[in-house]
């Protein structure tokens, strides 16, 4: 969201599940094993969903189990753990919605909120289904410079996209009926290209355009909101979780997105890289947050 955001260790303390262990550093020879393990985890997502249906629902907010978001939770049969931590990516419904839905260009939105000052430390993406008006899946990777490499995170992310039929390398590497949604331009305009440069990898084609929800908010409600918290205040929504914990911020952004969609907002691409000059970005809305 912004380059000045605080490190993860200094965020406001909330009760939350201990962060999952970082991936151990892997050489090229170990890389296929990590990839197979991640793909196997995704293939088991259907069976884990059945377990979620047995979890009692409550209106009380609970912190997300960070092990669960990375397919690492081993306490799904522990009632105390289930009662304390959330094991569902679903967005809580907002009361008083007016159901003035507009037809959208995209079937899915990929809600992204990166964390990290120098290098990216957290890469959370929530898959928001426009038809169900809810988050239906989550991709979440946490790492640092001694753990899994960024290019391996991207490969895992592409496996996840492919599982949902939102991306195929053979089709040019662009998204299919989906678009990234961010709170600001920093994540995709600045940080992803910088991380790709540091990791000595080419910028993937699906990072060429995105939706800055702050610009959509400005044009739809005709009032400025320089950040996620100000958007939520304007909609009289209470933020959940820890600010600057990417998975929590992503969920709050998804809640704002859900509210705006049901309010009748048209959520469209607001920024696109210039073909042939990826360092240049064209902003598509004249009225935007600068």
- Residue of 162, 133, 152 lying closest to 256 (CA atoms): 133
Where would I find the H helices in the chain? 31-43, 45-53, 79-84, 150-163, 192-198, 213-221, 228-234, 246-262
Q: Which residues, in sequence order, are CB contacts of 151 under 8 Å at separation 6+?
A: 199, 201
Q: How confident is the model at residue 95 (pLDDT cuts 50, 70, 90)?
A: low
Q: Would you state the pLDDT for residue 115?
A: 84
Q: Which residue has the higher pLDDT, 168 or 273?
A: 273
Q: How confident is the model at residue 124 (pLDDT cuts 50, 70, 90)?
A: very high
| Element (DSSP H or E) covering residue 287 | none
Question: For the chain, what is the domain count?
Answer: 1
Q: How confident is the model at residue 2 (pLDDT cuts 50, 70, 90)?
A: very low
Q: Which residue has the higher pLDDT, 41 or 88?
A: 88
Q: Would you state the pLDDT for residue 280?
A: 95
Q: Does residue 48 sit within a domain? A: yes
Q: Does residue 5 sit within a domain? A: no
Q: How confident is the model at residue 236 (pLDDT cuts 50, 70, 90)?
A: very high
The answer to whether the CB of 125 falls within 8 A of the CB of 139 is yes
Rg of the Cα atoms in the chain: 18
Write down the catalytic residue from 119, 243, 244, 286.
244
Annotated catalytic, 158? no
Q: Is the pLDDT of residue 119 over 70?
A: yes
Q: Which residue has the higher pLDDT, 284 or 101?
A: 284
Instruction: From residue 76, give the alpha-carbon distance in Å to each of 49, 83, 86.
Output: 11, 10, 11
What percentage of the chain carries pLDDT values higher than 70? 72
Q: Which residue has the higher pLDDT, 179 or 54?
A: 179
Q: Is the pLDDT of residue 87 over 90?
A: no
Tokens (6 digits) for 190: 């600045």
Q: Would you state the pLDDT for residue 93?
A: 64
Q: Is the pLDDT of residue 10 over 70?
A: no
Q: Is the pLDDT of residue 24 over 80?
A: no
Q: Would you state the pLDDT for residue 85?
A: 75
Q: Does residue 108 sit within a domain? A: yes
Write down the catalytic residue from 115, 122, 152, 209.
115
- 255 alpha carbon, distance to own chain's centre: 12
- Can you tell me the distance from the alpha carbon of 192 to that of 169, in angstroms, rounded to the nearest whole number? 19
Average pLDDT over residues 32-36: 46
Average pLDDT over residues 248-252: 95
DSSP assignment of 5-33: PPPGGGSPP---PPPPPPPPP--TTTHHH
Q: Would you state the pLDDT for residue 288?
A: 96
Q: Is the pLDDT of residue 121 over 60?
A: yes
Tally of CA atoms within 13 A in the half-sphere of 19 that contains its CB: 16
Q: Would you state the pLDDT for residue 117?
A: 78
Tally of CA atoms within 13 A in the half-sphere of 6 that contains its CB: 10
- Can you tell me the distance from the alpha carbon of 171 to that of 174, in angstroms, rounded to the nearest whole number? 7
Q: Does residue 4 sit within a domain? A: no
Q: CATH code at 148? A: 3.30.420.10
The CB density around residue 141, as the number of other CB atoms within 10 Å, is 25
- Can you tell me the distance from the alpha carbon of 134 to that of 126, in angstroms, rounded to the nearest whole number? 10
Annotated catalytic, 244? yes
Q: 46-81: per-residue pLDDT in tens?
A: 444 434 444 444 457 677 776 677 677 787 788 888
Q: Would you state the pLDDT for residue 243?
A: 84
Q: Does residue 290 sit within a domain? A: no
Q: Does residue 198 sit within a domain? A: yes
Which domain covers residue 105, as residue numbers?
A: 14-283
Q: 181-227: per-residue pLDDT in tens?
A: 999 999 999 999 999 999 999 999 999 999 999 999 999 999 999 99
Q: Which residue has the higher pLDDT, 210 or 30?
A: 210
The CB density around residue 140, as the number of other CB atoms within 10 Å, is 21
Q: Is the pLDDT of residue 165 over 50?
A: yes
- Residue of 20, 89, 6, 106 lying closest to 55 (CA atoms): 89
Which pTM was predicted?
A: 0.74
């Amino acid at each position: 969201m912004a380059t000045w955001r605080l490190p993860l260790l200094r965020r406001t303390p909330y009760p939350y599940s201990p962060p999952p262990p970082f991936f151990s550093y892997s050489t090229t020879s170990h890389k296929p094993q990590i990839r197979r393990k991640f793909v196997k985890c995704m293939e088991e997502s259907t069976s884990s969903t059945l377990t979620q249906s047995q979890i009692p629902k409550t209106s009380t907010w609970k912190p997300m189990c960070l092990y669960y978001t990375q397919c690492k939770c081993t306490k799904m049969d522990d009632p105390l753990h289930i009662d304390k931590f959330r094991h569902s990516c679903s967005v809580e419904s907002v009361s008083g919605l007016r159901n003035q839905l507009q037809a959208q260009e995209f079937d899915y939105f990929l809600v992204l909120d990166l964390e990290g000052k120098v290098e990216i430390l957290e890469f959370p993406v929530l898959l928001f289904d426009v038809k169900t008006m809810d988050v239906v899946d989550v991709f979440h990777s946490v790492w640092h410079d001694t753990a899994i490499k960024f290019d391996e995170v991207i490969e895992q992310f592409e496996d996840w996209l492919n599982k949902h039929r939102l991306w195929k390398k053979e089709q040019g590497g662009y998204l299919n009926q989906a678009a990234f949604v961010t709170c600001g331009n920093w994540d995709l305009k600045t940080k992803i290209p910088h991380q790709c440069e540091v990791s000595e990898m080419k910028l993937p084609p699906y990072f060429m355009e995105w939706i800055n929800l702050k610009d959509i908010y400005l044009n739809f409600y005709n009032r400025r909101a320089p950040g996620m918290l100000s958007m939520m205040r304007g909609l009289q929504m209470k933020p959940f979780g820890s600010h600057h914990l990417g998975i929590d911020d992503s969920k709050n952004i998804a809640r704002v997105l859900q509210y705006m969609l049901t309010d009748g907002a048209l959520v469209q691409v607001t920024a696109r890289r210039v073909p042939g000059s990826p360092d240049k970005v064209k902003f598509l809305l004249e009225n935007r947050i600068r």
